[in-house]
A and B are shown apart, each in its own frame.
Chain A
Amino acid sequence: MSRLQRALRQIARYPSAIGGLFVILVLIGIAAYAVITIPYREAVRLWRGGEEIWGEYPKNAHPIYTDWFTRDRLPRSIVVDSVSSSAATKTVHGDPDVGGRQVITYTFDYPYDGFPKELVIFMTARFPERRPHASILWITPDGREIRLGDMSVRAAETFRPGQDARLQRRLGGQTAEIGLFADPNAATPTPLKGTYRMVIDVDLFEPNSNMEAKLVVHGQVHGWAGTDHRRRDIGVALLWGAPVALAFGLLAAMGSTVTTMIIAAMGVWFGGWVDGIIQRVTEVNMILPFLPILIMVGTLYTRSIWVILSIVILLSIFGSAIKTYRAVFLQVKEAPYIEAARAYGAGNTRIIFRYMIPRIIPMLIPQLVVSIPTYVFLEASLALLGLGDPVLPTWGKLIDDARSNGALFQGYYYWMLEPFVMLMMTGLGFATLGFALDRIFNPRLRGL
């Protein structure tokens, strides 16, 4: 216990170690938060979801903090639902026994300096046989009334005014997103701020009929992390990337370094053909192309992250580290205390596990910590090759999505930078801590 305390006290003397430790603790906090708030199944469901989950989210919206860098206030998403929002009022006229008429009025404030990305009206109707008929009217803050369209509504109908060519002609060639929100007196299109209204006038032709509708004005910014090309909230992947990256990195690093150390110790202790075989296997393994084999496994067998993880461990066990450990163990083997242990009759296992391995643990710990980011980046690398886990959202998959959808060409820098920052934090956190630990545990380096 006192040794641990001493080690901690020594770590406290290195500001870089403190920094690294802090970053790691923050990452662990994020990972815990992610796993608790979004359970595994939920994360998978969200990330694989389509319009039914993410319909209210805008496409490729920048994160909200983009606002801080511009003078303008960029539009956020506005959702007004006739079922749940108080901003929508519904009045029923006529006789419900024969059908009648419903008027739904949506009222919302638009105080932003940009135009919305998209305008969508989701309508759901209940009717025995004859479809209800809806006509939609748009009322701007300065009192102009624009007819958006008339339609007979199926059980589920989605109306996108931006894709309506007739509406575009009525608006003088402008798309609905601009035409409906523009100030008519301005030379260049500028949005008119104020309170907008949309009125849906529904004619019902049968008893037991009803219609509900949801107005979604997709903004240019959304959420703390923005959204991607499939409207998914990038925040989900950023959060869930943390536990995946930590688990992958830690397990791979632990699995490979500890096993490598044990094998190296056994080789040195038993010597002879055991050592020879280990040496030869290491040499063959050095020739084996690591990533291509992983890729082959990914394409031919399975893409499950856990299978890939075990193959990573398997391939790294006989890595170049085995030679380093071997050199150290060769020295340890000659130490007098090993001689003493043999003299009192300690068995092979006891000598290897209780006498030799504890001796090089100080050397092992820094290496283990330093090697964690390598594996975290490996996971991202595989994802970049399209071999990421098929169901889990990870940072690497975010980068892959961003790259293959031209985020850099189109200026969606946030999409790539956010997972980048997370990866960098992980990498730097573990690496700085590892470097500091190396100096603490290997005092020979301390003066340098």
Chain B
Amino acid sequence: MAEGTLPAEAAAPPRAQRRAGTSTFARVLRYTGLRALALFVTVVIGVYLTVLVANMGGAVDNIRRAQIREGVALYLSMDPEIRRLSQEERNELTAQFTAVMERRFGLDQPFVVRSFRFLQNALTLNLGRADNLTSDSGSRQVRDIILERLPPTLVLFATANLFLFFLSVSLALFLSRRYGSLLDRIIIALSPTSAAPAWYIGLFLILFFAAIWGVLPYGGMVSAPPPQDRIAYLLDLARHLILPVSAMVLSAVFSSTYAWRTFFLIYSSEDYVEMAKAKGLASRDIERAYILRPTLPTIITSFALMLISMWTGAIILETVFNWPGLGRLFYRAINIYDTPVIVGETVVYAYLLAITVFVLDFIYVLVDPRVKIGGGRETA
């Protein structure tokens, strides 16, 4: 088990683990399995709704029909035999070919039937071909285009959210110890600024650090041309990461610190904390084992919600910073009306959200003793 990896885990009372015995693993597995199943059902429904939204306007169908008609016209115009026919005959032939092709792609079937095939394609990430966009490697497959853009997004996201989480938790713990101090009041006063999304703060940072002072790049992931040396490349990447990561952190850190600090304060006035203080335990131990431990599940839940809203917010952040990730791809797809890419990205986002929820659920299992010991009900 990944016990040692979580800092809070280290201070967990060992008694509970021993009592749980061998069935702990099975329980965790069962719980995780059930959650995975539930999430999968949710994803299926979510993706189906997405497919419905994307099709209600008939946009996808119209695009498919147009593609077929264009393909048929092109095919027929290549054939010298057919070019010799009269206009009416040619039109009739085109209509016939188109009808055959539409039947082949199932466009003559009712929407309900097709929607399930769309669902299946979407779920298996069989996303079709893009209208205009191509991946950097030259592929027109939506899946290739999206997979190519996934790593940059993940790099940006993982960095920003790890920073955000550990910064907020440690800051909140620090402030709960000395609440009422100047720093505490400053954070409270700043917490309303979290109404601003990351892109807003990002543009501000660009204005100052790139436009006025010129110390950091306007955007992008690496300089052009990218450095050849591996270390130089990583340093360059880090330099480009500073502004977007700061934007994401700054847009959320104050309000989450404020909320969690309040939460810690409420918990630190519990009787058992007083008791621990009376016993003369070190304040560090008290914080870890008596305050952080019981609050961690709630904090993780609130972090999950924050993460979910940030995922989609990153579309604009990446656009603002020219970060070559999923968000920027989405923006380009919107601007040239590349529907397959838009639909495909929406599906991928649904998957990413589900994976986020699942991973957090898993961490939740690790930190919530109720699940591990098997007592209590399952938590949502």
Q: Main SS of the interface on chain A? A: helix
| A-B CB contact pairs (8 Å), 17 listed | A16-B189, A286-B308, A287-B357, A291-B313, A293-B346, A296-B343, A298-B334, A299-B342, A320-B305, A323-B380, A373-B196, A381-B313, A413-B211, A416-B203, A423-B196, A432-B192, A435-B192
Contacting pair A293 B315 (CB below 8 A): no
**Is there a chain B Cβ closer than 8 Å to A424's Cβ?**
yes
Contacting pair B339 A299 (CB below 8 A): yes
0/1 interface trace, chain B 194-218, chain A, CB 8 Å (1 if under) = 1111011001101100111000001
**Is there a chain B Cβ closer than 8 Å to A386's Cβ?**
yes
Contacting pair B46 A408 (CB below 8 A): no
Determine the distance from Cα of A373 to Cα of B194 in the docked complex, in whole angstroms.
Answer: 10
Determine the distance from Cα of A416 to Cα of B206 in the docked complex, in whole angstroms.
Answer: 11
Given A399-B203, A435-B191, check contact A292 B196 (CB 8 Å). no
Determine the distance from Cα of A295 to Cα of B319 in the docked complex, in whole angstroms.
Answer: 14
**Is there a chain A Cβ closer than 8 Å to B123's Cβ?**
no
Contacting pair B200 A408 (CB below 8 A): no
Stretch of B47-55, B92-100, B227-235, B276-284 at the chain-chain interface: B47-55
Question: Contact residue range for chain B?
Answer: 35 or more
Residue from B50, B196, B199, B211 having most chain A Cβ neighbours under 10 A: B196
The residues of B that contact A295 with a CB separation of less than 8 Å are 315, 330, 334, 342
Contacting pair A420 B195 (CB below 8 A): no
A296 touches which of B45, B204, B207, B346 (Cβ 8 Å): B346
Given A283-B42, A299-B334, check contact A427 B380 (CB 8 Å). no
**Is there a chain B Cβ closer than 8 Å to A344's Cβ?**
no
Closest to A387 in B: B334
B319 touches which of A283, A384, A409, A430 (Cβ 8 Å): A384
Closest to B193 in A: A428
Given A284-B45, A286-B308, A420-B200, check contact A297 B357 (CB 8 Å). no
The residues of B that contact A298 with a CB separation of less than 8 Å are 334
Closest to A290 in B: B312
Determine the distance from Cα of A430 to Cα of B195 in the docked complex, in whole angstroms.
Answer: 9
Known pairs A287-B43, A403-B320. 13 more at Cβ < 8 A?
A: A284-B45, A287-B46, A287-B350, A288-B353, A292-B312, A293-B53, A298-B334, A380-B200, A384-B199, A385-B315, A385-B331, A448-B179, A448-B266
Determine the distance from Cα of A16 to Cα of B39 in the docked complex, in whole angstroms.
Answer: 43
The residues of A that contact B349 with a CB separation of less than 8 Å are 289, 292
Closest to B59 in A: A300
0/1 interface trace, chain A 249-292, chain B, CB 8 Å (1 if under) = 00000000000000000000000000000001001101111111
Closest to B46 in A: A287
0/1 interface trace, chain A 415-435, chain B, CB 8 Å (1 if under) = 011001001100110111011
The residues of B that contact A115 with a CB separation of less than 8 Å are none
Contacting pair B334 A416 (CB below 8 A): no
Residue from B312, B339, B353 having most chain A Cβ neighbours under 10 A: B312
Contacting pair B200 A423 (CB below 8 A): yes
Quick one: which of B34-91 are within 8 Å of A by CB? 38-39, 42-43, 45-46, 49-50, 53-54, 56-57, 59
The residues of B that contact A289 with a CB separation of less than 8 Å are 311-312, 346, 349-350, 353
The residues of B that contact A411 with a CB separation of less than 8 Å are 211
CB distance from A112 to the nearest CB of B (A): 26
A284 touches which of B49, B192, B337 (Cβ 8 Å): B49
**Is there a chain B Cβ closer than 8 Å to A174's Cβ?**
no
Closest to A409 in B: B211
B196 touches which of A293, A320, A377 (Cβ 8 Å): A377
**Is there a chain A Cβ closer than 8 Å to B295's Cβ?**
no
Given A289-B350, A323-B380, check contact A284 B46 (CB 8 Å). yes
Closest to A428 in B: B192
**Is there a chain A Cβ closer than 8 Å to B11's Cβ?**
no
Determine the distance from Cα of A399 to Cα of B201 in the docked complex, in whole angstroms.
Answer: 13
**Is there a chain B Cβ closer than 8 Å to A8's Cβ?**
no
CB distance from B228 to the nearest CB of A (A): 28
Given A286-B357, A296-B346, A408-B206, check contact A381 B59 (CB 8 Å). no
CB distance from B209 to the nearest CB of A (A): 11
Residue from A299, A403, A430 having most chain B Cβ neighbours under 10 A: A299
The residues of A that contact B262 with a CB separation of less than 8 Å are 445, 448
The residues of A that contact B346 with a CB separation of less than 8 Å are 289, 292-293, 296
CB distance from B323 to the nearest CB of A (A): 15
A416 touches which of B49, B207, B305, B308 (Cβ 8 Å): B207
The residues of B that contact A445 with a CB separation of less than 8 Å are 262
Quick one: which of A288-334 are within 8 Å of B by CB? 288-293, 295-301, 320, 323
Contacting pair B49 A431 (CB below 8 A): no
0/1 interface trace, chain B 142-154, chain A, CB 8 Å (1 if under) = 0000000000000
The residues of A that contact B54 with a CB separation of less than 8 Å are 296, 300
Contacting pair A301 B319 (CB below 8 A): no
**Is there a chain B Cβ closer than 8 Å to A107's Cβ?**
no
CB distance from B189 to the nearest CB of A (A): 8
Contacting pair A292 B345 (CB below 8 A): yes
CB distance from B304 to the nearest CB of A (A): 9
The residues of A that contact B313 with a CB separation of less than 8 Å are 291, 381
Determine the distance from Cα of A284 to Cα of B354 in the docked complex, in whole angstroms.
Answer: 10
Residue from A287, A408, A427 having most chain B Cβ neighbours under 10 A: A287
The residues of A that contact B354 with a CB separation of less than 8 Å are 287
A377 touches which of B191, B197, B330 (Cβ 8 Å): B197
Determine the distance from Cα of A17 to Cα of B203 in the docked complex, in whole angstroms.
Answer: 28
Contacting pair B49 A385 (CB below 8 A): no
**Is there a chain B Cβ closer than 8 Å to A66's Cβ?**
no
CB distance from A135 to the nearest CB of B (A): 46
The residues of B that contact A413 with a CB separation of less than 8 Å are 207, 211-212
**Is there a chain B Cβ closer than 8 Å to A367's Cβ?**
no
The residues of A that contact B46 with a CB separation of less than 8 Å are 284, 287-288
Determine the distance from Cα of A384 to Cα of B308 in the docked complex, in whole angstroms.
Answer: 20
Determine the distance from Cα of A259 to Cα of B206 in the docked complex, in whole angstroms.
Answer: 39
Determine the distance from Cα of A428 to Cα of B330 in the docked complex, in whole angstroms.
Answer: 30
CB distance from A381 to the nearest CB of B (A): 5
0/1 interface trace, chain B 330-364, chain A, CB 8 Å (1 if under) = 11001101010011011001100110010000000
The residues of B that contact A409 with a CB separation of less than 8 Å are 211, 218
CB distance from B222 to the nearest CB of A (A): 20
Determine the distance from Cα of A180 to Cα of B309 in the docked complex, in whole angstroms.
Answer: 57
CB distance from A118 to the nearest CB of B (A): 25
0/1 interface trace, chain A 332-357, chain B, CB 8 Å (1 if under) = 00000000000000000000000000
Closest to A434 in B: B192
Closest to B39 in A: A287
Quick one: which of B296-325 are within 8 Å of A by CB? 305, 308-309, 311-313, 315-316, 319-320
CB distance from B255 to the nearest CB of A (A): 9
Given A299-B339, A408-B211, check contact A374 B195 (CB 8 Å). yes
Determine the distance from Cα of A287 to Cα of B197 in the docked complex, in whole angstroms.
Answer: 20
